[in-house]
A and B are shown apart, each in its own frame.
Chain A
Amino acid sequence: MSTFSPTVIHSEKEYTGETDRKSVRQAISDALWEEMERDENVFIMGEEVGVWGGTYAVTRGFYDHFGERRVRDTPISEMVIVGAAVGAAMNGLRPIAEIMTINFAFVAFDAIVNHAAKVRYMFGGQFTVPLVIRTTTGGGRQLGATHSHSPEALFAHFPGLYVVTPSTPFDAKGLLLSAIRDDNPVLFVEHSTLYQNRGLVPTVDYVVPLGKADIKREGSDVTIVTYAKMVEIALDAAERLQDEEGISAEVIDLRSLRPLDLDPVLESFKKTNRCVVVEEGHPFASVSGEIAARIQDEAFDWMDAPVKRVNQEDVPLPYSRELEQSALPNADKVIAAVKEIM
């Protein structure tokens, strides 16, 4: 393994050095490529990751460069993709297993929950599982009920597994590098409609630590807590709230659902005394429910209004474009929720 002494950067705002403009796709691809160049124990396995170049084109060119030993096309077999990656991780490698979409992670649920997340504890810490499971999430692409889930909360339920969900190219690359280098299993969830988004990425080696939230916009009247694709929507809503209503919203990107970094949320709440949580997934047993519960428990004395939640409607997502869009969170719904508690 060649030496790697990255700068640890907690937030894009702190970084003042040289940057390139890159898409989320390219940022993720770069992280994978660089880490495979550095560490022979890192390899990729999954459906269509090799010859095809990845169904979201993240691993395009990898197969030709690294070869079939390190970029391994698998059969359509999610249970064994995750399970075999767990076994390889137990036995000394650092696998990156790709599950094409999080909808198919349900097929591998047992391997993720009972094995990736549990084996270290269950055997008294005899081995670690340095595994990254990369997958894509999100609705809004007219893919119908089975291919449009945003079930991150479900996976974040279980101790032993990290759940990481970037919203920008900067965070995506820095968090993925941390994930690959971490000895815990990490479910790395990429939103399928963010791949084209562009942003600034440092040209120097850097990592973003896991388990730290990031304030994406500072404000003083209300705290909007969110992650992944919903960060974009929350920022849009915050701009409009400022322009149209004179309301100053702070937007916190959780970036990691487990471990959940609640401190910046509480700190912000103690300043604004109001909170709206925006989450693409359903409201029941959700991240938004968790945040609301924790705020009332840990910051009750600072509450000026109930914590509001903007989630996907509590129905399966339909195909028809307008109907599907009406079921998903958007800036209008966020603005309405904020106005309700001001």
Chain B
Amino acid sequence: MAMTDEEKIEAYRLMMTVRRFEERCAQLYSEGDIGGFLHLYIGQEAIAAALRFAVPEDDNVITAYRDHGVAIARGLPIEKLMAEMLGKVTGVSKGKGGSMHLADVDRRYWGGYAVVGGHLPLAAGLALADQYRGDDRITVCLMGDGSTNIGYFHEALNLAGVWDLPVVWVIENNEYGMGTSVSRASANPDLSARATAYGMPGKKVDGDDVQATYDAMAEAVEHVRSGNGPILLEAMTYRFRGHSMGDPERYREKDEVSKQEEQDPIKLWGNHLINEGVVNSDRLDEIEKGAEKAVDEAVRFARESPLPSPEELYTDVYV
């Protein structure tokens, strides 16, 4: 189950693409081109990279509203994602979803969901349908640490446990649910320990380490696909930006953030690849430039795309 050298390089390219995509989104938001809420994935890219290679394309993936990185990892074209950000009809959700509601059913990426924890039951249902038909497909459900304290978490993980639903539950623990730290929000801040309550294994992994996260995720996928029921994985990470744009970040010191930024998962992975002799630094620079160019191209496509026609208001609501 090891990653090939090519996959390792692609993982780096993916992370860099996510980073540049998010930075550009932040810029477009500040300039008023992107509306609504915008939750950036910056700092959590290693999890998206691991997901890309540990979870086969035919499996289901579903996540919360911090969904850009996951969408890119599932292969959604960044120009269509950027078009969605700008509310264009060429966007993945035809401009009706926005940043928090990206989906591509052809890629079995069932979307980002904006009510905290609301997608956890949906994940259970996606998995139920495959189990019901006797398919060996599994569902990977990502969520933030904040969603572990809403009732949905309890009901969905319990049902998955009772019915042996094929779900890999992945908590992306970035230490804060909005501005409230895990330790201030959770009576037991060891979130993976909750698995015990639902009769499933729980594991914790360094979510800033691509290799470790890939290994844990691939093992979890294998565990679930083999018919052992669900599993809970807690990936420890950190978001470098605010909860969303416009977060005053009164709940943490600037020092805390800069200290974390020294452990930037992209830098860590790049250095790892150089040390392993997989690439040299010139190659990484090249990849970075390529990512920038791809994002430029995505913005150009989005800007040139048409807005939804007025008739779109009344389509897609009843069959």
Whole-angstrom CA separation of A120 from B113 in the bound complex = 13
Considering only residues 66-108 of chain A, those with a C-beta below 8 Å from chain B are 69, 72, 74-75, 77, 79-80, 82-93, 95
Chain A residues contacting B162 (CB-CB under 8 Å) are 75
CB of A121 within 8 Å of the partner chain: yes
CB of A19 within 8 Å of the partner chain: no
CB of B179 within 8 Å of the partner chain: no
CB of A203 within 8 Å of the partner chain: no
Considering only residues 15-48 of chain B, those with a C-beta below 8 Å from chain A are none
Whole-angstrom CA separation of A92 from B127 in the bound complex = 11
CB of B243 within 8 Å of the partner chain: no
Q: Of A30-38, A122-130, A317-325, which binds chain B? A: A122-130
- The residue on B at minimum CB distance from A259 is B318
Q: How far is the CB of A124 from chain B (nearest CB, A)?
A: 3
B interface size (C-beta, 8 A): 43
- The residue on B at minimum CB distance from A183 is B319
Chain B residues contacting A123 (CB-CB under 8 Å) are 93, 96-97, 101, 103, 105, 111
Return the CB mask of B151-166 against A: 1 if under 8 Å, else 0: 1100110110011000
Q: How far is the CB of A59 from chain B (nearest CB, A)?
A: 18
CB of B61 within 8 Å of the partner chain: no
B132 touches which of A80, A93, A121, A160 (Cβ 8 Å): A93
CB of A147 within 8 Å of the partner chain: no
A120 touches which of B110, B120, B132, B316 (Cβ 8 Å): B316
Chain A residues contacting B216 (CB-CB under 8 Å) are none
CB of A235 within 8 Å of the partner chain: no
Determine if A160 and B317 form an interchain contact, defined as CB atoms under 8 angstroms apart.
yes
CB of B177 within 8 Å of the partner chain: no
Determine if B125 and A90 form an interchain contact, defined as CB atoms under 8 angstroms apart.
yes
Chain A residues contacting B132 (CB-CB under 8 Å) are 43, 69, 88, 93
Determine if A79 and B152 form an interchain contact, defined as CB atoms under 8 angstroms apart.
yes
Return the CB mask of B122-158 against A: 1 if under 8 Å, else 0: 1111111110110000000000000000011001101
CB of B115 within 8 Å of the partner chain: yes
Determine if A87 and B155 form an interchain contact, defined as CB atoms under 8 angstroms apart.
no
Whole-angstrom CA separation of A69 from B113 in the bound complex = 29
Known A-B contacts A90-B125, A124-B92, A126-B103; A159 and B317 likewise in contact (beta carbons under 8 Å): yes
CB of B175 within 8 Å of the partner chain: no
Considering only residues 73-127 of chain B, those with a C-beta below 8 Å from chain A are 91-97, 101, 103-105, 110-111, 113, 115, 118, 120-127
Q: Of A10-18, A109-117, A149-157, which binds chain B? A: A109-117
Known A-B contacts A77-B159, A123-B93; A128 and B126 likewise in contact (beta carbons under 8 Å): no
Whole-angstrom CA separation of A91 from B317 in the bound complex = 18
Chain B residues contacting A110 (CB-CB under 8 Å) are 115, 118
Whole-angstrom CA separation of A69 from B127 in the bound complex = 14
B151 touches which of A79, A86, A88, A122 (Cβ 8 Å): A79
Q: Name the residue in B94, B111, B125, B128 with the highest tally of chain A Cβ atoms < 10 Å from its Cβ.
A: B125
A125 touches which of B60, B94, B121 (Cβ 8 Å): B94
Other contacts beyond A84-B125, A125-B316, A160-B318: 11, CB < 8 A: A75-B159, A75-B162, A83-B125, A83-B155, A84-B156, A84-B159, A87-B121, A90-B110, A111-B121, A121-B96, A124-B94
Binding site for A on B (CB under 8 A): 60, 91-97, 101, 103-105, 110-111, 113, 115, 118, 120-130, 132-133, 151-152, 155-156, 158-159, 162-163, 315-319
What are 14 A-B contacts defined by CB distance under 8 Å? A75-B158, A77-B158, A84-B159, A86-B122, A87-B110, A87-B122, A88-B132, A90-B126, A91-B129, A115-B118, A121-B317, A123-B105, A126-B93, A259-B318
List 6 tightest A-B contacts by C-beta distance, closest first. Answer: A87-B125, A83-B121, A124-B94, A125-B316, A91-B129, A80-B155
